[in-house]
Structure formats: structure tokens, C-alpha cells
Amino acid sequence: MSTVPLQERTDRFQGYRGAAREALDRFQIGVWSEVELENDQGSRFTGVILPRSETCDDLHVVVKLFTGYNVGIRSDRIVSARETGYRKAVYKIPEKEFPRDPKKKNVTLLGTGGTIASRLDYRTGAVIPAFTPGELYGAVPELADIANLNTKKLFGVFSENMGPEQYKALAIAIGEEIEQGCDGIVVGHGTDTMSHTGAILSFMVQNSPVPIVLVGSQRSSDRPSSDAALNLMNAVRTAAECDIAEVMLCMFGPTSDNYDLLHRGTRCRKMHSSYRSTFRTIGATPLAMVSRHPWEDGSHFQYISDEFLRRDRSRKPVITPVFEEKVTIQYYYPNFNPDIIDALSGCGYRGMIIAGTGLGHVNKPLYPALKRAIQKGMTVAMSVQTLWGYAQMYVYDTGRDLLDLGIIPLDNMLPETAYMKLGWVLGQTDDPARIRAMMTTPINHEITPREPHNGYLILQGGLPEVDAFVQKHWK
Amino acid sequence: MMHRLDYAEAGLISGLEVHQQLLTKHKLFCRCPAGLYTETHDGEVLRHMRPTLSELGVYDGTALMEFKTRKEIVYLLNRANVCTYEMDDTPPFLVNPEAIDIAMELCLMMNMDLIDEVHIARKQYLDGSIPTGFQRTAIVGVNGWMPFRDRRLTVTHVSIEEDSCREVSDKGHRIIWRTDRLGMPLTETVTGPDLRSPEEVREAILLCGLVARSTGRVRIGLGASRQDVNVSVRGGSRVEIKGVPKAGYAVKLVHGEAVRQVNLLRFREELHRRGWRGAEDIRLQVSDVSDICAEADLGFLRRALQAGGRVCAVKVEGAAGLAQMPTQPDTTFLDELAGRIRVIACLDEAPIVLSLAQLPEFPQKHRIAERLRKRVRLGEQDDAFLVFGPEEDCRTAAEEIRLRFADATQGVPQETRQALAGGYTTFERILPGPDRMYPDTDSPPTKITEARMAEARARMRPAPWARLERYRSWRVPEETGHYLIRRGGAEILDAVVERTGVDGLVAAIEIGQRARALKRAGLPIQRLGVEAWVQVFDLFTDGLLPRECLGTVAARMAADGLDAAEAARAEGIALVPRERWSAELQALTMEGYLGERVDTPEKRLRFLAGKAMAQLKGRAPAAEVARYLKDRLEATR
Ligand SMILES: [Zn+2]
């Protein structure tokens, strides 16, 4: 039983407005009050008053009953309510000292937000990440068997709020961690824009001596079946032991709890809004598979590619944390209006990536607007909205016309990667020739000279042979 | 053997949790069809479960226990009945309003107070029965009651929840589930702890079933309703018997649990007498006795060793005789140990655990038993338990033996027990607490507006007690009334009586007994709905169809999809209004024969009846024709 007087509780009305707030006031109760409450039909409710989500109405009081259920009670039906106690929830993952072993590798986990381990926020109904090594150890004790873990919380933003400021800060922080001599870096990240961050980090942090692994969870860590713990274990394992010293994403391969795939930061995309195995390498194969339990050869890694930068502690990274924000990406569609391009140009946009149709096309009515924009100094580059395949603008007349206008073809660079690269390039130069050269010279496989035949695979479910394959291998 | 027990003296208290599938088109949180079961699969997913924190920052005890079992969980998927929601790769869609509506009707029938704003919560289950690791559930109504015997059975709450997977197999560390049933809407009706005997439990289950069926919007058939029964005795604890399939089975199960609790309380006395008061008083040593047991000619030991496992002896000091003390009727404390070991240590090969004091027969038994006793240094007062299987699981088993004895020093552990055939129960899991529940952040709350409530009230069907009272006033036999409500016939009966004005008893007998007999005989009479039966009884009340032909016509309608008049014609029952056939007969009988008083009245009546039936060719009800002729004869006398 608490002795905190009502007046001293700063969150007494958390989220409550109007009639519901008045009811709390009238009955001398508030959020986290343990109450016995009775309504006009004589129904009695005993439980804890919860904060109210701000998106809900102002008429109901939410009680978490002692049986565990939550109910919303209309405030004008409450005839009596009595506080029997006060129990403020501490959202806390049991914190334990993270055990250190000098024989194990040192991994730093940089937090940006996202849901590797989390708690619930009642005000917004959102999931809030929890983060310290102790908390992580409490939630995923298996981590201590893999590496020594340090954590640094850089920011606590949701994936969609990541932007140039965060990218730069993250690149600098990674540089510092490498400088400190850690064996690998894990970046906790929301999944929505994880591949965007993977792309920009590939440009901002080059020549890394150690792995830089982005990780998150598709199904939130507040559920028992979450992919969070397994992703985290595999990401820490990758940072500590994997031979690939590149910016990678570590997320579920199949939807089953099986293995994670390591995707190259520049060649990867989120392809499903909620599936666990949402990330796919596009136009190439993933770099490797990583598993919690070793494969038959005793290794936790199965390398799929051998074209990658190998771990080398003596290598010095090159950190270039710059970004031009006046860059946009435009998804072309039939009836795309030239006004849009004029408007962007008028707003001072310096760069535009077009996700064009087919081999990299837009229709003729756009040409004058594109010409005006390029003449005004805008860099316009072409990627393909098919995602797989190359912008080969020399094949048809329309493409050739666009090349003549000065549009830069980006081969098989993914549209989002292209956007990140253009922002990064324009942050360094406004010389058109240099821009063109930088955009078309790959830094880390964002353009590949060849596409392997198995770089394009979208299995069609329902075909007998595909179903048979999936049942056997990909579950 | 039924052990006698005075329930009042033992302080037996029981309450119900009745789960009922609702008759909706779709599942509760996705657009998959509900009620479509399949026995094949076209996909598989493998998952593991980890406990998560409740909002108050606590891990639930059950959740931790289930985490200890380290199961690989496999889900079998079929495109016909599951989508990416069930496999937890897509968040829930908005809750199915049809299900909420049905739950509201059920609540109103049980005089409940509807919740103003329904909030979805998550209830953790780490056994894998739900791929998310939690069941989405919400309270819809509270504070209700049903008339029961001469008192009220309180209904604490009704919630709406998604059904779980069906278990295919559970062997070692791998459990396999079929997902077709997953996500179907259920209501859970929780009664107060108001029941005082196994017989009352049985009656209450039947009552709950009648109520649910009275809505006309629930599923029926195998597995469509399942009940959990909570039982405790004075000084004992709440134990949930899960999955009682039929009301009748509850009697033996509740009795058995009451006996078990009384025995466990005696067991506690015995432990206290031996000076065991808590976990710290239990001393046990684990020895690997694989080498000795390799010589024992016992199949289960041999198989465990051949599979690379071990046999361990867990000596418990001062435990002599304890494992042989009774618990449920005809079972002993050894079964309590076996249950925990099977579930938590995943050692499921029978007999799971053996007491050294009670080894089965096998060659060289005495020699081997002697070596075992020597190896573990078994004293007079001690007992040792053999467990066998993977080494790590044997260690878990030893720990579970310690924990089960520790629990016994406190009395009856709160747990969920699975109902088995034969009226016994076995350990399923520690009873989950409220800590395993937390709000579902994926779903917004649903407001129950006054308007929606009014609509539900308008749709609501009569409660079973109201119907039974009406049927009693019609002198309908009690059993027939129950049958009609249970099988949906009450709906038809009420409509027929209201719309055709037929005598209630007549209609109840025809629909509740005659039609039932026809159904048993294999006629698809259940195909007939309210409209069809109204047609049949309309003919009857208009005097166009004799009572004895009601069933025949109905059966024909059902078999051939005819309307009532067509069916009657097809059966050769030509329907002639009374005025017409009586006129025909009058003409017939006036043709002389009535007047000749030669034969006895009986003979004359027979003759007349023969002639009349030949003339009418079944176009009039025989009984009425006979009555008519008799009246005529008497009048001419
Ligand atoms: Zn579905």
C-alpha cells in the first residue's frame, strides 16, 4: 500500500480528459490507484486504473482487473469508487549483471530505438525498447554465451523517424566504437527503414575492419513468439565471429525459428509489412546464413557469397558523415504530372531519384519539366520500380531520349539505396561530372556488373513443385 | 471403485469455465473461414516460445515453467483455413463484430451487465497451443446469474476469445499442432464457485449448454463446447480440470479431485510428522545408475539407454512409503511425480518414474534392486526414484521431484489438470496467474453503445428457463423440452405455435419426439426450418392433414425438398376439406345401408369404414372419418 498522496502523483490523470478525468477527480482516485469500483447496475470491479490512450475517447475509465483482464467503464455509470492502494507499474525487465568472459569477443550494441527488447507504454499503447546490457541479459540470457556486450543508447526513435541527423550520429558513433577496438558492432533498429539505414551506413562507413550488423524484430518482443531474441543472438554472434566486415542486416531467413540471413546493406529491402522473413536481398544472393546452433560442420555461419570485405582489425575505416537533405525519390506512374517536377525544382531540390517503369522509363510529357529541372542544377537519376533488373535506357528510344536529357542511369541500384547515395554524394559535391562519376561507381555492390541467375527469385506459392520445396526446406 | 466422500464435510467448492464456439462465418481476428477442419497440411512452421513481461514487470510462474520445457513447436498449416494471421506473421484485423454480437446476446440471456468498452487482452500460453504465444481475449459482460435448482448460479464474467490449435502429438521436446481450429471465436462463461457436489457440477454444465444453444448462434457437435471445472476442498487449493468433454464425465472427475485434495492434505500431515516443512527439508541425491540398469531386462530402460540416454536414481531421504500413499482414487503420489516429470522434463516414456520400493517384475530383479540400493546407499527410511532418458532431462526430472515434494509440504498445489479417459486427471501445468495477462496493443477497444445493446436485445431468443416454464404449462415432458432447446427445435416449436395456433403439446410431441424418431431412422428431417414446419402445421390446423401424417409429410419435404402440399400429394395424401369429404360420405351413407339394421353396429361400422376409405382414397384423416361415421351411426340408432 502506497503513501504517495494524490496531489503528489504527477501522472494521476495520464491520458484522461473530460468526463473520465472528472470522475477520477471526483472519486479521489487516479492512474495506478488500486480501486473497488461499483457501477449503476451494482457490478463491482476491483483492479488498477490504467493510463488512457490519447487516441481513445474521454468517456471511459480503464481498469485492469485483478483477474488480468482490462475493461473500459463509462465514467457516468460509476456510482462509487474507493482507492484501496496505489501501485505504480515499473516497466522493467529483470536487470542482472551481464557476465563477462575475457575469452569472449567484445560487441557493442548501439541503440536507435526499435523493439529488440521492450516494454509497453499505456499512454500511447506503444512498445518501448529496453536496452541496458543488464536488461538484455535479463531478457535474453543466452547472449552471455556468445560475447561480452556493451550497449550505448544513441537515440530512442521509431524507425520512421530516423533521418539524416541520426545517420550522421550513428556513423560517427560507429567510428568511435571501431576506434575503441571492439570486435563488432550491432545496431538495434526498427525494421521499417532498416534497409535505408543499411544503405546510408554502407556509404558513410567504408572500409570497416569489423562487422556492422543491423538488427530488429518484425513481431514485437512483447510476444512470446517474437523473432527478437533469435535475431539478437544471431546478430551478436555475427558481430563477434563473422568474417564479413561490412554493413549488414541480420533478420529471419524463413518465417520459422531457424536461421537468419545476412543481407548486404546496399542490396536489401523490406518486402512484407509484417512477415518475419520480410527482408530479401534483391538482384543478388544474401551474404551468409547464421544460426544459433552450429551447422553440421561446426560453424554458425554458412557463407553464400565469397565476394565481401574480410574482417581485419588493422584496417582503418573511412567515415564520411554527410547528407544533402534536398533530395527526393519519385515513383513514376502513368499520368504522373510534370507539375510535380517543376514544383520540386522550384522548392530547390538538388537531387531526384526516379523509380521508372520497365528498363527505366517515364513518358514524354515529362521531358520538358525534366529538362528544366536539370538545367536548374538538379541531379536526376533513374532506377527501376521493378526492383529486380537493370535500368537499360539505351534499349528503347524513350530511354535514349532521357539519357540525352542528362538523366543518370543507375543500373540495378535499388531506388532507396539510390536515394541514400545521392543524398550522401550531394553532401560532398555539386560538380555534375563528379556527381555522375560517384553515382555510377559502386562503393559496395549497390551496382553489380552481373546478376546471378538466382539473384531473382520470387517463388510462386501454389505451384506443386514450389509447395513441395517450401515444405521440405523453407519452413 | 468409488471412494465415498461427504462433500459438505470436505468443503467441496466448484465452479465452471465453459468454452463455447460461436457460429460465425469467419474467425475472430482474421477473414479465414470458421469451422472448416482439415486433416492434411500444405505447410509447416517451427517456433519457440519465450516468456514476456507483464505490464507490471513480472514474469508469470506458468510462463517460466513452460519456458523450462524448451519445446520445439511445429505448426501444420493448410491454406484452406489459415492465413498469415494465425501463423503470427500478420497483426490482427479488427475484431469480428458478429462474434461480439453473439457474446452480447449470451450475456443478456444470463442477466449480465455488459462492459461499456471492450478491451482486448493477451493471455500468455507458452505450450505452443497458440502461435503468437498468447490468446487474445476480452471480457464482454460481468455480474450475471442463471436460475439453478432453487437458487441462483452466479456468472462472474463472459469473455470472448480465440480458440487454440489442436494437438497432433507431443513427444519429447517436440510438440505438433494443427492450426485449423485456431482463431475461431469462443465465449468463455465463468460461473461463481457456487457448486457443492459433483452432481451439481453436471447439472450446471448442462444448464450452460442449454443457455448457449438457446441463442441459436453457437456451434454444436464434437469439441464445439468444452468445459474446465475448478475444484477445491476446505484447506485445499483451486485446481482446474481442463477439457471435460461431457457433463456426465464431470461427476467422476470432480469426485476424484476432491478425494485427491483430501488425500494430499493427509499427505501433508504425514510430511509434517516426518519434519518436512518446506523445500529446505528435502534432501536428495542423484546418481547415474545406467550401468546397473543396462542389465535389467526392462524394455523402457533398454530403449532409453540405446537412444544415448541415462538412467538416474534420485534418492530422497526419509521418503520411504510416501510414493505409495493414495491421491486420486486408485492412484498414488508416484503419479503426482510422474505428471510433473512428463510435462516439465519432457520424459514421456511410460512408466516415466519408478519407486525403488515398487519395481516391476523382471528377471534378476532382486539382484539388480540390491545393487541399486547399495549404489545410492538407500537407508531404511529412504526411497529412490528411477528416471530415464536424455541426461539433461533426467536432471530436470530430479529437480521436479524435489519441487513436487516441496509443494506437498504446503498442501495442494494450484494447477491445471488434464481430464483423461476413465475419470482420472494428470498434471498439465501450474495454474496461471493474472501476471500472464497484458493488453493487446494491436487492437483498439470496442465501444458497446446503447444502440448496439438495444439491437442485441431485440434479436435475443428466450432463455431456456423461460421456455421450459412455458413448455411445462403445455404439459410437455421435461426431457422433450430439454431436447428441443438443445437441438434447436425450440425455435421451430415456438414459431409454429405462435403462427399456426396449434396446441403446444401436440406440436412439441410432433417436433420433439416424432421428428426425432424419424431423424434417428436416418431421415434428414433437420433440414426443415421454421417455414417448412409452419406449412405442415397450417395444413393440420386447417383440417387438411391428419395428425398421424404430419411426420410422413415432413419427412417427404426434407427428403425431396418439397413444400408441404406437394409432399402430401406425393405421399398420396390428397387433402380434401372436411366439408367436402363429409358431404361425400353423407351421400354415400345415405344410400341405404345406414337404414338397414341387420348387422351389429360394429360390423356395420367396419363395412361403412371400408366403403368410406375406398371412396375417399386417403384424402381425409382416417381417425376423423371413423369418428364421423360412428357419430352418424349413433345418430341413426
Ligand atoms: Zn486467418
Which CATH number fits the domain that encloses residue A66? 2.30.30.520
Of A54, A86, A118, the position where a domain reaches its end is: A86
CB contact (8 A) between residue B84 and residue A275: yes
CB contact (8 A) between residue B88 and residue A467: no
Ligand 1 midpoint to CA B64 (Å): 29
For residue B493, give the nearest of B481, B507, B513, B475 by alpha carbon: B507
Same domain for A126 and A43: no
Contact between A261 and A278 under an 8 Å Cβ cutoff? The reply is no
The contacts of residue B214 (CB under 8 Å, 6+ apart) are B109, B461, B462, B463, B464, B467, B485, B490
Of A60, A67, A93, the CB nearest to B116: A60
Min distance B435 CA to chain A CA atoms (Å)? 7
User: Which of the two residues, B251 and A123, has the higher pLDDT score?
Assistant: B251
Same domain for A250 and A171: yes
Which 3 state secondary structure label does DSSP give A354? strand
Of A319, A347, A366, the position where a domain reaches its end is: A319
Same domain for A334 and A315: no
CB contact (8 A) between residue B444 and residue A62: no
- Edge-first strand order for the sheet with A301-303 is A148-153, A106-111, A184-188, A212-215, A247-252, A259-264, A288-291, A301-303
Task: Provide the pLDDT for residue B255.
Answer: 96
Q: With contacts defined as CB-CB under 8 Å, which chain A residues touch B439?
A: 50, 64, 70, 120, 122, 125
pLDDT in tens, B465-515: 999 999 999 999 999 999 999 888 899 999 999 999 999 999 999 998 888
User: Which of the two residues, B630 and B5, has the higher pLDDT score?
Assistant: B5
Same domain for A129 and A224: yes
pLDDT in tens, A374-416: 999 999 999 999 999 999 999 888 889 999 999 999 999 999 9
Indicate if the alpha-carbon torsion angle B36, B40, B45, B50 is positive or negative. positive
Contact between B112 and B190 under an 8 Å Cβ cutoff? The reply is no
* A192: annotated active-site residue: yes
CB contact (8 A) between residue B42 and residue A467: yes
**Weakest mean pLDDT among A307-321, B285-299, B437-451, B598-612:** B598-612
Say yes or no to pLDDT of B277 above 70. yes
Domain hosting residue A240, numbered range: 106-319
Which 3 state secondary structure label does DSSP give A96? coil
Q: With contacts defined as CB-CB under 8 Å, which chain A residues touch B188?
A: none
- Contact A126/B at CB under 8 A: yes
Q: Which residue has the cell 517543376?
A: A342
Say yes or no to pLDDT of A344 above 70. yes
Ligand 1 midpoint to CA B82 (Å): 4
Ligand 1 midpoint to CA B95 (Å): 12
Say yes or no to pLDDT of B70 above 80. no
Same domain for A113 and A69: no
Cα–Cα dist B248/B612, whole Å: 54
Q: Please indicate, yes or no, if residue A74 is contained in any of the structural domains.
A: yes
Contact between B244 and B226 under an 8 Å Cβ cutoff? The reply is yes
pLDDT in tens, B552-596: 899 999 999 999 988 988 887 766 777 777 777 777 665 555 555
Same domain for A220 and A122: yes
Could you tell me how many CB contacts below 8 A there are between chain A and chain B?
A: 166
**How many C-beta neighbours within 10 Å does residue B195 have?**
27
Cα–Cα dist B408/B415, whole Å: 13
CB contact (8 A) between residue A276 and residue B89: yes
Same domain for A67 and A178: no
Residue A117 Rama label (left phi>0; alpha psi -120 to 50; beta)? beta
Q: With contacts defined as CB-CB under 8 Å, which chain B residues touch A90?
A: 56-57
Q: CA–CA distance from B125 to each of A323, B167, B190, B346, B391 (Å)?
A: 47, 14, 19, 17, 27
CB contact (8 A) between residue A471 and residue B123: no
The contacts of residue A10 (CB under 8 Å, 6+ apart) are none
Q: What's the grid cell of residue A372?
A: 528544366
pLDDT in tens, B340-370: 999 989 999 999 999 999 999 999 999 999 9
- Contact A124/B at CB under 8 A: no
CB contact (8 A) between residue A255 and residue B45: yes
Q: With contacts defined as CB-CB under 8 Å, which chain B residues touch A91?
A: 53, 55, 57
CB contact (8 A) between residue B441 and residue A222: yes
Q: Which residue is catalytic, options A192, A222, A243, A342? A: A192
Task: Provide the pLDDT for residue A289.
Answer: 98
Task: Provide the pLDDT for residue B68.
Answer: 62
Same domain for A335 and A315: no
Same domain for A391 and A256: no
Say yes or no to pLDDT of A273 above 80. yes
Q: Please indicate, yes or no, if residue A455 is contained in any of the structural domains.
A: no
Task: Provide the pLDDT for residue B242.
Answer: 94
Same domain for A179 and A120: yes
Say yes or no to pLDDT of B543 above 90. no
**How many C-beta neighbours within 10 Å does residue B201 have?**
28
Same domain for A332 and A301: no
Q: Which residues of A296-326 are buried (b: 16+ CB within 10 A; e: fewer)?
A: eeeebbeeebeebbebeeeeebebebbbbee
Q: How far apart are the first and last CA of chain A?
A: 50
Which CATH number fits the domain that encloses residue A242? 3.40.50.1170
Min distance B79 CA to chain A CA atoms (Å)? 9
Q: CA–CA distance from B615 to each of A237, A316, B326, B581 (Å)?
A: 98, 116, 79, 10
CB contact (8 A) between residue B157 and residue A69: yes
Task: Provide the pLDDT for residue A90.
Answer: 60
Q: What is the maximal distance between C-alpha atoms in chain A? A: 80
Cα–Cα dist A71/B140, whole Å: 9
CA nearest to A77 within chain B:
B116
Interface probe for A, chosen from B40, B46, B50 (most Cβ of A below 10 Å), is B50
How many domains does chain A contain in total? 3
The contacts of residue B178 (CB under 8 Å, 6+ apart) are B38, B41, B75, B76, B165, B166, B167, B168
Q: What's the grid cell of residue A125?
A: 499503447
CB contact (8 A) between residue A223 and residue B55: no
Contact between B346 and B69 under an 8 Å Cβ cutoff? The reply is yes
For residue A393, give the nearest of A440, A425, A435, A432 by alpha carbon: A440
Q: Which residue is catalytic, options A105, A108, A112, A115? A: A115
**How many C-beta neighbours within 10 Å does residue B463 have?**
20
- Mean pLDDT for B257-286 is 96
Percent of chain A with pLDDT over 90: 74
Say yes or no to pLDDT of B194 above 70. yes
Q: With contacts defined as CB-CB under 8 Å, which chain A residues touch B88?
A: 219, 223, 225
pLDDT in tens, B222-261: 889 999 999 999 999 999 999 898 899 999 999 999 999 9
pLDDT in tens, B28-66: 999 999 999 999 998 999 999 887 655 444 555 555 555
Min distance A66 CA to chain B CA atoms (Å)? 7
Min distance A52 CA to chain B CA atoms (Å)? 11
Of A68, A127, A221, the CB nearest to B434: A68
Same domain for A137 and A113: yes
**Whole-number average pLDDT of chain A:** 91
Q: Please indicate, yes or no, if residue A174 is contained in any of the structural domains.
A: yes
Percent of chain B with pLDDT over 90: 71
Task: Provide the pLDDT for residue B63.
Answer: 56
Task: Provide the pLDDT for residue A126.
Answer: 45
CB contact (8 A) between residue B438 and residue A471: no
Beta-sheet strands, E only, within A247-350: 247-252, 259-264, 268-270, 279-281, 288-291, 301-303, 318-319, 327-331
Contact between B29 and B95 under an 8 Å Cβ cutoff? The reply is yes
Ligand 1 midpoint to CA B27 (Å): 7
Task: Provide the pLDDT for residue A470.
Answer: 84
- Contact A88/B at CB under 8 A: no
Which CATH number fits the domain that encloses residue A385? 3.40.50.40
pLDDT in tens, A148-187: 999 888 887 888 889 999 999 999 999 999 999 999 999 9
Task: Provide the pLDDT for residue B611.
Answer: 77
Say yes or no to pLDDT of A448 above 60. yes
For residue A312, give the nearest of A182, A444, A211, A210 by alpha carbon: A210
Of B46, B117, B122, the CB nearest to A258: B46
Label residue A125 by pLDDT band (50, 70, 90).
Answer: very low
* A191: annotated active-site residue: yes
Residue B522 Rama label (left phi>0; alpha psi -120 to 50; beta)? left
Whole-prediction pTM value?
0.87
Of B46, B115, B132, the CB nearest to A475: B46
